[in-house]
A and B are shown apart, each in its own frame.
Chain A
Amino acid sequence: MEILVCIKRVPDTSENEIQIEGAGTDIARDDLVYSVNEPDNYAVEEALQIVGRTGGSVTVVTVGGEEDEEVLRREMAMGATRGVLISDDSFQGSDGRGIAAILKAFVQRGHYDLILTGVQADGGCAQVGGMLAALLDYPFASLVTSIEVLEGRKLKIGREIEGGGKEINAIDLPCVLSIQTGINEPRYVGMRGIRQIASVPIPTLGAAELGVETELVGAIAAKVKRTGYFVPAAGKGAEMLAGSREEVVEKLMDLLKAKGGLN
């Protein structure tokens, strides 16, 4: 099976103290460290496991700049067959639809049976996967937590649903799936793997080579624009429990039950 995984380089919240920059339209980015968007990493692992069972190859692609090569290399060190960087000045400021349009052009240049994205990235929009499927007119499923390859170009997929349950669907290939974390246990990528892949050239494709519909990309075409950021003020919801250890534990249990934290 030929699998494409769309990935994104994002600031890692566990390693950064995210602060809003002066103008209030972005976060301060000068001292950030980046990594692969976590759900994307699970998507790549899932792709590698599927290919391990059924054969084929895994391509990872990202839309961005030179600095984004780092995440392609990390996923290649993980085992992805090839990485492709899509980069063009005209892509600056694209909204979700713009990114989906760019990826659509890339997908149409190849022959992919399955396209995976992470369920969402740092922006929390969770839209590129769905839009990409719509633009390609492919079936789409979100929040996927298990994939089984069936006969006759079909997949059996599990999806997370409200309340912790899971539903099972059959879906035709080719399709787009957005992958939820926890679907697998991604393998560790060590320094050694990254060093070994460090000098492998990564092809870069621009708008012209891909034949991107230019009217959909870039800041001008964007129909969703970020206008501001703010950090909500800390509320007064905290309640300190007092009493002996046993009493505190009992009160906490009651509260958890009352708020639905325990079933």
Chain B
Amino acid sequence: MQESIDSIAGAWFWLIRGRDLFLFLHLLGLACFGYIVTRRLTPLLRAQRDFRFDRPLARLGKVLQFWLAQWRHPRYRFAGTIHILIFAGFLLLASRAFAVLAMGISDRFAGESGGLYSAIRDYASTVVFLCMAIAIVRRLAFAPARYGRRSADAIFLLALIAILMAADGAFEGSLAAFHARQGGAAMLLPPLSLPWLFKAVFASATLMALVNLHLGAYLTHEVTFFFLLCYRPFGIQFHVETSLFAIYFSKLDRGTVKPVRWGVADEQLDAVPSFGVKKIEDFTWKHLLDFYSCADCGRCADHCPANAAGRPLSPRALSIKTRDYLFRHYPVFGASTDGMPLAGGLYSEDELWSCTTCGACEAECPLLVEYIDKIVDLRRGLVDDGKAPQALHKPLKSLESRGNPFGKMEKKRADWAQGAVRILNGGGSADTLYFVDSITSYDDRIQSIGRATARILASLGENFGILGAKERDSGHDVRRFGEEMLFQALRDHNAENIRASGVRRIVTADPHAYNALKHDYKDMPRVEHVSQAIARAVSTGQIRLNAVENGVFTYHDPCYLGRHNGIYDDPREVLDAIPGLHRVEMPRCRDRSFCCGGGGLALFYEAKEEQRMGVLRVRMAADAGASVVVTACPFCMVNIEDAIKVAGLEGQMTAIDLAELVDRQMVVGHASACPV
């Protein structure tokens, strides 16, 4: 080494010129990274198709919101803030990193920096360094439970970034100290930044030592940078590279379920040899990209009601173990070492049936990783292999033969209405169809929601009717439990009858039916949830509501009304329009609502769990001080009423459907006669 400090490319590192050494290291690093990434991409190329190349503007919007603006991160204030600082630091430091790398092979990039950018980047690297220190201390001393126990890898990666930042600071600081010792023009370093600190520390070093520190820092930076680049694809930090793509290609249509095979029309499904995901290549390429992108932050599992109830499911664990399986199955070096079957091997069957498709995980994930479509696809594979849970065989068979999961007769489907609601017989006899669905048609308790809904629609002067015996189950949860062909049979039957009825609009009080008609059915008339119709009528004064005197009310957001369809405000506006009603919010509300146990076939599936989700939910309501839980979904009603009993809150808490409450509080005589 020698006393010239301004050229890295021209400096000698032992017997090798910097230019040659760093050209070699750069090329080696890039070659390794290229090879590793190519290996990582191999399974994506063998995976199933996935149509994610449409609507570039919407996708760009996602990138701006969720990638650049880190939209979801502040949902966890502390960790989110740290992440935003690190992310912003990385963006600011990107050009600096390239400039530093380029210095190794050409002097054109060397020399004085100074100016605004250099001050910004010096502070950026300092902030990133501090964030790394905080993150490491947090992981060591105050790790939240959601991180689980795999901290070593995370801490190692955080430390590498800290080293990278420190090396850059030392590189800069030693240079400044050198110039100061030489008495040349003083390099201005931003006070309290890393380079400034290093300069101060190095102030008494000899010129020779400063040159060595400078070159040593550069070499450390070089090695750390490329090691980090090549190491990231082996763990959670791969999201640094993949997140941009994961978010660009993220799912745009809420509430939908992916088709069995992208690009295969429903009519051609009989020719598809196998349904769902049975081996890792049956996932779509985007879903495999999701596994690479998961940062293991645990926010999904933190909000997963199945996980909270002690069911054997954690979305985070599902992603991480699938990623590890993918790494073993498509290793960077050597031969594949994993032939474990997915369902029944990597995942237990109970794990896959534990999900209620509530979507809390997907609402939380900062990287927009999808879970519902994957779980539905895995269930499709199980159903295709005859492995539907025993408890679901009878409901499924009944759905096939009777069009409802209870095995009740079709001709009794309209009995709930007690003859007071018109049954549509085609030919445009009504404007509006009230789609009732199975549970409201047949369950003794839930029929009351149906009658309340019918009375409300009548009082609004709606010209409406029901399909009666011609209605079948919407199939919403049949599809989500993986029985796609049965769903399609139910859908086709209903769609045909709805079209034949000639209605221009559909109203339902069941969010699952609402979601199915809106997203799973094609070319349907406009669909509305009854809470939307009520909210409109309340705001125009068409419905006036009597005061309530007692009780503290809380509104429980049904998953398929709230999270999957964004209807949060209409039900709350209706409640707030009731004079004297005292409403409190549970901390877990709106898009953080906590699923009460799931609807449709979930009612029949007895999950292995420590606690019912519904019981956890009613305890949340009790903690919020509520004595009345208002919901807007028949399945929520079943689960919450059961949970009130199980939790021993009978007498202290009641549950009521929004439609029932409005029906009870409506000012009578205000509108047309009640039909039911």
Complex formed: what's the CA distance from A79 to B385 in Å?
11
Known: A14-B394, A14-B407, A17-B409. A190 touches B402 (CB 8 A): no
| B398 lies within 8 A of A190 (CB) | no
A15 CB contact (under 8 Å) in B387, B401, B483:
B401
B398 CB contact (under 8 Å) in A14, A78, A187:
A14
B164 at the interface (CB under 8 A from A): no
- B674: min CB distance to chain A, Å: 30
A188 at the interface (CB under 8 A from B): yes
The B contact surface, by secondary structure, is: helix
Chain A residues in 8 Å Cβ range of B397 = 12, 15, 35
A196 at the interface (CB under 8 A from B): yes
- B264: min CB distance to chain A, Å: 13
| A188 lies within 8 A of B409 (CB) | no
B383 at the interface (CB under 8 A from A): yes
Complex formed: what's the CA distance from A153 to B388 in Å?
34
Complex formed: what's the CA distance from A236 to B385 in Å?
48
B386 at the interface (CB under 8 A from A): yes
Chain A residues in 8 Å Cβ range of B489 = 191
A162 at the interface (CB under 8 A from B): no
B396 at the interface (CB under 8 A from A): yes
- Nearest CB in chain B to that of A74: its residue: B397
B270 at the interface (CB under 8 A from A): yes
| A191 lies within 8 A of B407 (CB) | no
The tally of residues in A whose CB lies under 8 Å from a CB in B reads: 21
B570 at the interface (CB under 8 A from A): no
Chain B residues in 8 Å Cβ range of A191 = 400, 483, 485-486, 488-489
Complex formed: what's the CA distance from A16 to B408 in Å?
7
B485 CB contact (under 8 Å) in A15, A31, A195:
A195
B108 at the interface (CB under 8 A from A): no
B670 at the interface (CB under 8 A from A): no
Complex formed: what's the CA distance from A31 to B407 in Å?
13
A195 CB contact (under 8 Å) in B270, B383, B388, B401:
B270
Chain A residues in 8 Å Cβ range of B388 = 188, 190
| A187 lies within 8 A of B386 (CB) | yes
Chain B residues in 8 Å Cβ range of A187 = 385-387
Indicate the size class of the contact surface on chain B: 20 to 34
| A190 lies within 8 A of B483 (CB) | yes
| A15 lies within 8 A of B398 (CB) | yes
B393 at the interface (CB under 8 A from A): yes
B384 at the interface (CB under 8 A from A): yes
- A78: min CB distance to chain B, Å: 7
Chain B residues in 8 Å Cβ range of A186 = 390, 393
- Nearest CB in chain A to that of B648: its residue: A245
**Chain A 54-82 interface residues, beta-carbon cutoff 8 Å to B:** 78-79
| A192 lies within 8 A of B384 (CB) | yes
Complex formed: what's the CA distance from A191 to B409 in Å?
20
A188 CB contact (under 8 Å) in B387, B402, B411:
B387
**Chain A 161-208 interface residues, beta-carbon cutoff 8 Å to B:** 185-193, 195-196
A33 at the interface (CB under 8 A from B): yes
Chain A residues in 8 Å Cβ range of B401 = 12, 15, 33, 35
Complex formed: what's the CA distance from A193 to B396 in Å?
14
Complex formed: what's the CA distance from A185 to B349 in Å?
14
Complex formed: what's the CA distance from A35 to B397 in Å?
9
Chain B residues in 8 Å Cβ range of A12 = 397, 401, 407
Chain B residues in 8 Å Cβ range of A35 = 397, 401
- Nearest CB in chain A to that of B411: its residue: A31
**Chain B 383-432 interface residues, beta-carbon cutoff 8 Å to A:** 383-388, 390, 392-394, 396-398, 400-402, 407-409, 411
A-B contact pairs, 9 of them (CB 8 A): A31-B411, A33-B402, A188-B387, A188-B396, A190-B386, A190-B388, A192-B269, A192-B484, A192-B485
Residues of A within 8 A of B (CB): 12, 14-17, 31, 33, 35, 78-79, 185-193, 195-196
